[in-house]
Amino acid sequence: MGMHIRRQQNRSSDRRLRPASMLGFSMVEMVIVIALVLVVSGIAVVNTQGALRDSRVAGAYENSLTQLRMARQRAIEERKRYIVTFGTPAPTGAATPLGAPTTKSIQLFRWDNGNPSPAPVQVGTIDLPVDVAFAALPGVPTSSSKVPDGFGSGITAIDFDQGVGAGAGNLVMFMPDGSSHDLAGNFNNGVLYIARTGDLSSSRAITVFGNSGRVRGWRLLQPGGVATWQVQ
């Protein structure tokens, strides 16, 4: 019995004599671990927010590109006219059952054949994210040799009807043969710019060729700090 008691006492003494580092984390070590966890979490949050911002711009660009290409395809398949508008206004006399356009709207209209010709009818509408706009930001190329497909001056965000009057039209009408026109029947060449507010590197552009209706997408790159458009 006496020997058993002494062994227990010896084990208790051994625990008391061990350094604190052998018994578990010290307070300082715990603080350091918590600080590291917080730093890593903060970096992850910042990276995630940046990715979300980029995805909103990319989504707005893809929606614009898709609406144009879909309108052209439907015009060919259905032998009807399809109109895509960016921002305001809607086509003159058009019915807008899905809501009037805003400065952030991408709207699709079908214009049926008939005699007399009926009014265009709105068949689709999409809005840009709150931090994305139709915008040609300061810093994008402005010379005729450097703007996308040579259309416009890099200043006007929605710039269709190139070479027709003052230009700056906000719509594209695709015909059954696939070509792009304005509402007056002129071939409609033009360019559209999209960007996140105040972020030059987020800039995208879309061009449309009147005689063929070809639609091309562009992204702004900055190799060596020089803003340059590249076809996507």
Q: Residue ranges per domain, the chain?
A: 25-80+131-231
Q: Is 196 exposed, middle or buried (0-12, 13-18, 19+ CB in 10 A)?
A: buried
pLDDT at 5: 44
From start to end of 22-138, where are the E strands?
81-86, 105-111, 121-127, 132-134
Local mean pLDDT, 10-residue blocks, the chain (232 residues): 47 50 66 76 57 85 97 98 98 95 98 92 96 97 96 96 91 98 96 96 97 97 95 95
Tokens of 164: 């027709």
Tokens of 50: 């940046």
Torsion-angle region of 155 (φ positive above 0: left; ψ -120 to 50: alpha; else: beta): alpha
DSSP letters spanning 8-36: HHHHHHHHHHS-GGGTS--HHHHHHHHHH
Q: What Rg do the C-alpha atoms of the chain give, in angstroms?
A: 31
Residue 230 has a pLDDT of 97
* Residue 160, both tokens: 């269709």
Q: Any bridge partners for residue 109, and if so which?
A: 83, 122
The pLDDT, as a whole number, for residue 16 is: 52
The Cα 209–Cα 186 span in angstroms is 12
DSSP-assigned letter for residue 117: P
Q: How many angstroms separate the CA atoms of 33 and 39, rounded?
A: 10
pLDDT value at position 26? 78
